[in-house]
Structure 1
Amino acid sequence: MPRPTARVLTLLELLQSGGTRTAAELADRLGVEERTVRRYVDRLIDLDVPVESVRGRYGGYRLAPGHRLPPLMLGDDEALAVLLGLAAGRRAGLTTAQRTASETASAKIRRVLPKHTARRLDALLEALAFTERPDEPDRPDAGVLLTVADAARHRRPLLVHYTDRDGRHSERTLHAYGIVSHSGRWYATGHDPRIGEDRTLRLDRITAARTLPGSFEAPADPDPAQRLLSGFATAEYRHEVTLRIHGTAEQIRAHLPAAVATLTDHEPATAQDPAAERWQRVDIRAQRLDWLPPTLASLDRPFVIERPDELRDLVIAFADRLASHARRT
């Protein structure tokens, strides 16, 4: 590559690192005079790279937002970080309905990687394994995702077209607090002013969203992730379970997380040791009960089943099976 061209690309890389760079700083980094820096800047502008001149004592050059993304200059480590992030994002469901966007981005970066770096990346991806393999994630529309995010950030109401689990279509107003990615799905948490209640909507079920005039006041601590988990734990299900478990919150939460159960003190904590084991009330709503006996067994803490009786029968039957297996020789 001719040396002036290499310096122009180095200048672009320096500007892409962010902030305003003085002509003197750029000249020192490139090993040229300041007038040569100005010539290189003109060359970038001729290539439609949006370089701005900043006047004043702390003036210099910086990249301005443009309609076209300027060519990115990535080092080997940066390219590997981006490719691994794209691979992990696809694996975790952190992608939109435009699935090909992440795939084409990966392909573009891979094409310009040095051969030895590409080989190392291929070796890493072949050796990489995950402990869980989730179902195919539900991907929201990219336009919907960005519209909801912008409305949540600026506290603007949204009009959304939504399809529920039974296939019913509706038009709703949502005061979105934020967006949460959970178990391969995207959710918007917020308030529905029509019914006066908080709602959690799956983004892949929103077919259209647009911002409405006006604004809204969010709660002091909206915490979208916590609201999502609390909503899961309190949603209507077939069975309502109430337990008393003797242990610490950490011991119980290790097997019954916030998305599954709500936890309240059944007896007050002592001032001497507020984290000590004590009886705590656990409320669970579930479609099925068969997973609870082995979960309670793995918890290995004293517990009392307050309701339903069906769970008590399942626990006794599970204990009998364990005892029967243990007696076998």
Structure 2
Amino acid sequence: MAAVSDARARLLSLLSLLQTPRLWPGSELAQRLGVSGRTVRRDIDRLRELGYPVHAEQGGSGGYRLTAGAAMPPLLLEDDEAVAVAIGLRTAAAQAVAGVDDAAVRALRKLLQVLPARLRRRVDTLASATVAHPFSLAPEPVDPDTLVVAAATIANHERLRFRYRDEGRHVEPHALVPAGRRWYLLAFDLDRDDWRTFRLDRVTDLVATGARAATTEVPGGDVAAFIASRTLQMAPTFPADVLIHAPAAHVVDRLGGPPPGTLTDQPDGTCRWLAPPDTPEWHTLRLASIGLPFEISGPAELVAHLRSTAALFQAATAGRRAAGQQDPEQDRLRKERIGTRAGADQRERPQQVGGR
């Protein structure tokens, strides 16, 4: 490899190599940079003076590695890494971790200040093409300390105590899983002798006990699949059979993509949606987001939920009228009728030409 003669460029190249998490023999670093081993040692000392904690291991299998220090020195990022970090910070700014949104915005602002124009354009292009779904539900924020403590006990294989809905729990934590816009803790509950999932926004008073946790494998070996199955078990779910009074293309256009399940056009211009099992609440939300007339063939639970939801909305509007407040929609229609009559009267009235 050609020698990197400029000292500053060589330091950056050396730092880039060391940021790959592995042990780098001095001879390999010298070969990569095209310099002598003595120059490598001198450059390592310069990095240490700048605050980079470079650890050296002696012996035939020794070398250098970059370790964690008391303070975080500047990072050296490749172009694609910088874009990935910027997009990740934009995403984190909208996540359900209390305080992280503000920190992500501050970090993103600092990063954008030093990004080259070509990378800033890539970040802006990706951001402008991404729109939050209008029916996204606002989550309950999670305390960052809760995440930190839970993650540390998982990494250290420690048992954990906390309160969940005002009830004490003693568990062996196994994994943190973000699902939708919530965080879940998968753990083996020692008091119940079974696996449990806990919503972290409902967890308080976490304490790492220091006791060693057993290395129990999650049933099936797939954490994400286990969490998904347990989440579905928390609430009854049903498949749905819906006839929508519009072609399938209109439904896909309204949703920005095909809904889950199958959507089949019918000869009369309608379409039939066979939705996979889900809760009545989520079926209702999807149907409301479509905004087209529909008929429910099943299940009965969805029909009942739609009736109760309709009654709730009707009661809300009836309450406004009972309190002597004008219904906005009725007021709009009334004004349109008045305007129509006034226009008709104006057309029928003889027009006066000229003055007196």
- Aligning the two structures, in what range does the TM-score lie when normalised by the shorter sequence? 0.5 to 0.7
Q: CA RMSD in A?
A: 3.8
- Call closer, same or farther: CA 1:26–1:172 in 2, change over 3 Å: same
Q: Which has the higher helix share?
A: 2
Task: Please give the residue correspondences for 1:96-175 in structure 2 after superposition, counting only pairs within 5 Å.
Answer: 97-125=99-127, 127-130=128-131, 132-133=133-134, 134-162=136-164, 164=165, 169-175=166-172
Q: Secondary structure at the match of 1:40?
A: helix
Matching residue of 1:228: 227
Query: Counterpart of 2:106 in structure 1: which amino acid?
Result: T
Q: What is the CA–CA distance in structure 1 between the aligned matches of 2:51 and 2:282, rounded to whole Å?
A: 60
Matching residue of 1:28: 31
Contact 1:157 1:176 in 2 (8 A): yes
Identity percentage over the alignment? 29
Q: Output one character per residue of 1:93-125: Cα deviation in whole Å (capped at 9) or x when no partner.
A: 265543333222222222221233223422432
Shift of 1:154: 4.7
- Call closer, same or farther: CA 1:170–1:12 in 2, change over 3 Å: same
Q: Output one character per residue of 1:107-156: Cα deviation in whole Å (capped at 9) or x when no partner.
A: 2222221233223422432x312372423343322221122223335543
Matching residue of 1:321: none
Contact 2:284 2:306 in 1 (8 A): no
Task: Please give the residue correspondences for 1:1-12 in structure 2 after superposition, counting only pairs within 5 Å.
Answer: 3-12=6-15
Q: 2:261 aligns with which of 232, 255, 264?
A: 255
Matching residue of 2:208: 211
Q: What is the CA–CA distance in structure 2 between the aligned matches of 1:153 and 1:108, rounded to whole Å?
A: 31
Contact 1:241 1:283 in 2 (8 A): yes
Contact 2:281 2:305 in 1 (8 A): no
Query: Counterpart of 2:232 in structure 1: which amino acid?
Result: A
RCO comparison, higher one (Cα < 8 Å, 6+): 1
Matching residue of 1:176: 173
Q: What is the CA–CA distance in structure 1 between the aligned matches of 2:284 and 2:17, rounded to whole Å?
A: 59
Structure 2: segments with no counterpart, 5+ residues: 242-258, 263-275, 289-296, 308-356
Q: Output one character per residue of 1:26-66: Cα deviation in whole Å (capped at 9) or x when no partner.
A: 23333433222211111112223111223233433221232
Contact 2:96 2:140 in 1 (8 A): no
Q: What is the CA–CA distance in structure 2 between the aligned matches of 1:40 and 1:177, rounded to whole Å?
A: 42
- Call closer, same or farther: CA 1:30–1:304 in 2, change over 3 Å: closer
Matching residue of 2:68: 65
Structure 1: segments with no counterpart, 5+ residues: 246-252, 257-281, 295-302, 315-329
Contact 2:92 2:100 in 1 (8 A): no
Query: Counterpart of 2:261 in structure 1: which amino acid?
Result: H
Q: How many residues align?
A: 264
TM-score (norm 2): 0.61
- Call closer, same or farther: CA 1:284–1:24 in 2, change over 3 Å: closer
Q: What is the CA–CA distance in structure 2 between the aligned matches of 1:106 and 1:229, rounded to whole Å?
A: 32
Task: Please give the residue correspondences for 1:27-46 in structure 2 after superposition, counting only pairs within 5 Å.
Answer: 27-46=30-49
Matching residue of 2:187: 190
Shift of 1:313: 11
TM-score (norm 1): 0.65
